[in-house]
A and B are shown apart, each in its own frame.
Chain A
Amino acid sequence: MMSRDTAVVADGLTKRFGDFVAVEDVSFEVSSGEIFGFLGPNGAGKTTTMKMLTGLLLPSAGGGSVAGFDIMTEAEAIKRNIGYMSQLFSLYADLTVDENIAFFARLYGVPVDRRRERRDWVVEMAGLDDQVDRLTGELPLGWKQRLALGCAVLHEPPILFLDEPTSGVDPISRRSFWDLIYELADRGTTVFVTTHYMEEAEYCNRLALMNRGQLIALDTPARLREGMEQPIFEIRVDSAPRAVAALQHAEGVVDAAMFGRELHVTLESDADAEERLRRHLDERGVSFSGLERITPALEDVFVARVRAAGGAPVD
């Protein structure tokens, strides 16, 4: 049952394109004011799910609601109550900053007497005070993204959908973009965001992991990490690539991946971990200088979960 505080409901959402199932029976709820992250490899169905929720795509089966409106029958009402920022940069490059703001303010039905105030707010928020007469296409990507975010919330929607909003943006711009998201969330805006950046995933209140069109995990980042049963070790070796080759298909090893110069190795169990690892590495002549059990990073959880669910579709 949907409570008053539920912003988004997905109930068995399914989307098929011909024989290909892009999204399969996905269900979840997002509470009001939550920052809800959608994490998954490319092609996992994140964007498709978001498009179904925002009324851009009709589900093949299942249903849901956004801001209390049915996604099957009330798409127009949903569009008045959400802000949406698509994956591609999607403002008009040949319009100035001000012209873009004015255009979207009119489309979103911002009342005439509020337009000036909202425009000033967006300009300030995006840090574009001196740039209002510049063509949007000439702005650096980070600024474009902030402007796009500003345009998506001109009408102060209760729910904001962001589809990989920071892809291709440098880390500093990404950071300042997330500051804005927090600011919006503080004011009670529900934020639904897809990403494939792990550090962004950490910023979310709750995370949904998607792979091959299915929801494979849903929890807070902390609980997702804790919930990982298989132990992870960080090991130091003289040659990480050779060590990966040696361990990847070794018995009792779930996964071995390079993390900088170190190796993260996921084992089936922690019994005799050091001894077993040393033996595998010795066989291949890799020298081994130490090991430490670590709390899994979100990426480890992600990789392990995706692997357990049959691997990423692209591999």
Chain B
Amino acid sequence: MLNRTRLLAVARKEVIQLRRDIRSLIMAFVLPVLLLVLFGYAISWDVQNIETGVLDRDGSARSRELIDAFRSSGYFDIRKQLEDEDEIDRLLDRGGVRIVLVIPTDFSRDVGAGRPARLQAIVDGSDANTATIALGYARAIVQSYSRNVLFQGERVTTPIESQTRVWYNEELLSRNMIVPGLVAVIMMIIAAMLTSLTIAREWERGTMEQLAATPVGRGEVVLGKLLPYVAIGLIDVVVVSVIGVVLFDVPFRGNAALLMILSTAFLIGALGLGIFISAVSRSQLLATQMAMILTFLPAFLLSGFMYAIEVMPTALEAITYLVPARYFLVVTRGIFLKGVGVEVLRVQGLLMIAFAVVGLAAAIRVFKKEIAR
């Protein structure tokens, strides 16, 4: 039995305290916007204008044609024409360029004679991701170039022609992935960081004992504390979404109400987890650290936000099933980019509700045990 007066009294008290705690306010309202802007602008997995060096030993019309093809693609920024091989090392070492194309002396002769010509690309592999993408682009450019050479610009029909078309994120912009993903990650931060403090603070300041000696029940304390944070979380969902759409041109194709409902489910579970951590650790410092490790980092690294789950090692992939942000990420990306509805997000929705029930039950349960210590 929950008493409404007591539950609301706890919620009201929590709001007053939040309003006076600048640290929490920053975490609640500034951090999400900051993260969004930071990630939205600074982090991009799109590779463009790769600094490129060219060592053209051939020096022929054909080799210049090839270099032009690289330049005009927009992916490669030809920074430097090299004179001899020794320069390659130095240039790559100093980070002046990321990739060096080496066109051998007999390039145009081989091409002219219809023999397979060789072309060397030396890539700085220290950033494996960019290196792979750069090589992919280079390969595609070379392929289309050799097709042109082969057919001398005639229109030809190849036996099988693949025509790819990308759906949902037509331009393959990474920010279209990042912004909806951030909604999920930010929710996890709000939940974990903010609520991890709330109960530990009461233990540290001795107010918990006073609460325990009043008729207020565990459920009333936990739910009363939860309420303001759910509100903050939902405000953040709206703010981050609006900024995402307005500032970053991220499409929003789905149903806003559905996003709010599923966000609420996710929030309750995540907040429950935060309160659980807070109740177990009893110190604000420990609680923050635990929250970082148990919720914040997994949300970042194991939810599919930063790294695709499909390419993770099996053991790690298994762990991702325990990371609720994983499900919420499917929801936000689905609603933003694909405009899908309940029929598709049913499974994620149910899993998040299950998580909410478990999180909340765990919070109330551990809280009960702790008071009787």
Contact residues in A for B62 (Cβ distance below 8 Å): none
Complex CA distance for A76 and B209, rounded to whole angstroms = 15
Interface residue? A54 (CB, 8 A): yes
Judging by beta carbons under 8 Å apart, are B215 and A107 in contact?
A: yes
B198-231 interface (Cβ within 8 A of A): 205-207, 209-217
Q: Which of A61-108 contact B (CB under 8 A)?
A: 76, 79-80, 82, 84-95, 99, 102-104, 106-108
Contact check, B213 vs A54: say whether CB atoms are below 8 A apart.
yes
Which single residue of chain B is at the shortest CB-CB distance from A112?
A: B5
Report the separation of the CA atoms of residues A109 and B216 in the bound assembly, to the nearest whole angstrom: 9
B299: shortest Cβ distance to chain A, in Å?
Answer: 29
- Inter-chain CA distance A103–B202, complex, in Å, is 15
Expressed in whole angstroms, the minimum distance between the Cβ of A85 and any Cβ of chain B is 8
Q: Which chain B residues in 208-261 approach chain A with CB under 8 Å?
A: 209-217
Query: Given A76-B215, A93-B205, A103 and B17 touching (CB < 8 A)?
Result: no
Q: Would you call A79 and B213 a contact (CB within 8 A)?
A: yes
B221 closest partner in A (C-beta) = A107
Contact at A99–B212, with CB atoms within 8 Å? no
- Tell me the complex Cα distance, A84–B16, Å: 24
User: Quick one: which of B6, B17, B207, B210 contacts A106, CB cutoff 8 A?
Assistant: B6
By the criterion CB–CB under 8 Å, are A92 and B207 in contact? yes
In the complex, are the beta carbons of B206 and A86 less than 8 A apart? Answer: yes
Contact (Cβ within 8 A) B9 A106: yes
The answer to whether B206 touches A89, judged by C-beta atoms less than 8 angstroms apart, is: yes
Q: Contact check: which of A56, A93, A161 meets B212 at CB < 8 Å?
A: A56
Verify A84–B210 contact, CB threshold 8 A. Answer: yes
Instruction: Specify the chain B residue showing the minimal Cβ separation from A89.
Output: B206
Contacts of B212 in A (CB 8 A): 56
Distance (whole angstroms) from the CB of B45 to the closest CB of chain A:
43
Interface contact A108-B205, CB-CB below 8 Å: no
Asked if B12 contacts A109 (CB within 8 A), the reply is: no
The B contact surface, by secondary structure, is helix
A151 and chain B: residue at smallest CB distance: B210
Q: In the complex, which of the residues A76, A99, A104, A106 contacts B16, with contact meaning CB atoms closer than 8 Å?
A: A99
A76-B215, A95-B16 are known contacts. Are A107 and B6 too (CB-CB below 8 A)?
Answer: yes
- Tell me the minimal C-beta distance from B230 to chain A in angstroms: 20
**1/0 per position for A31-66, CB-CB distance to B under 8 A?**
000000000000000000000001111100000000
Task: Say yes or no: B372 contacts A56, CB within 8 Å.
Answer: yes
Residue of chain B at shortest CB distance from A100: B13
Q: Nearest chain-A residue to B217 (Cβ)?
A: A76
B20 CB–A CB distance under 8 Å: yes
B21 adjacent to chain A (CB < 8 Å): yes
CB distance from B6 to the nearest CB of A (A): 6
A166 to chain B, nearest CB (A): 16
Given contacts A99-B16, A106-B9, A107-B9, contact A91 B214 (CB under 8 A): no
A91 touches B371 (CB 8 A): no
Picked from B3, B16, B206, B215, the residue with its CB within 8 Å of the CB of A79 is B215
For B207, the closest partner residue in chain A by CB is: A90
Residues in A with CB closer than 8 Å to B16 are: 94-95, 99
- Shortest Cβ gap from B227 to chain A (Å): 15
Cross-interface CB contact of A86 among B3, B13, B209, cutoff 8 Å: B209
Name, among B8, B17, B211, B214, the residue most crowded by chain A CB atoms within 10 Å (CB to CB): B214
Which of A86, A94, A108, A109 lies in contact with B17, CB distance below 8 A? A94
Cβ < 8 Å to B, chain A residues 170-202: none
Shortest Cβ gap from B173 to chain A (Å): 44
Contact partners of B211 in chain A: CB under 8 A: 107
Contacting A at CB under 8 A, from B1-23, are 3, 5-6, 8-10, 12-13, 16-17, 20-21
Give the chain B neighbours of A56 by CB distance below 8 A.
Answer: 209, 212-213, 371-372
Q: Name A108's contact: one of B206, B214, B373 (CB within 8 Å).
A: B214
Asked if A80 meets B13 with Cβ closer than 8 Å, knowing A88-B209, A92-B207, the reply is no
Could you say which of A79, A95, A99, A106 has the most chain B C-beta atoms within 10 Å of its C-beta?
A: A106
| Closest 6 pairs between A and B when the two form their complex, measured CB to CB | A88-B206, A106-B9, A84-B213, A90-B210, A86-B209, A107-B214
Given A56-B209, A85-B210: 6 more A-B contacts, CB < 8 Å: A86-B210, A92-B205, A95-B16, A106-B6, A107-B215, A108-B214
A-side residues, CB < 8 A to B, are 54-58, 76, 79-80, 82, 84-95, 99, 102-104, 106-109, 161
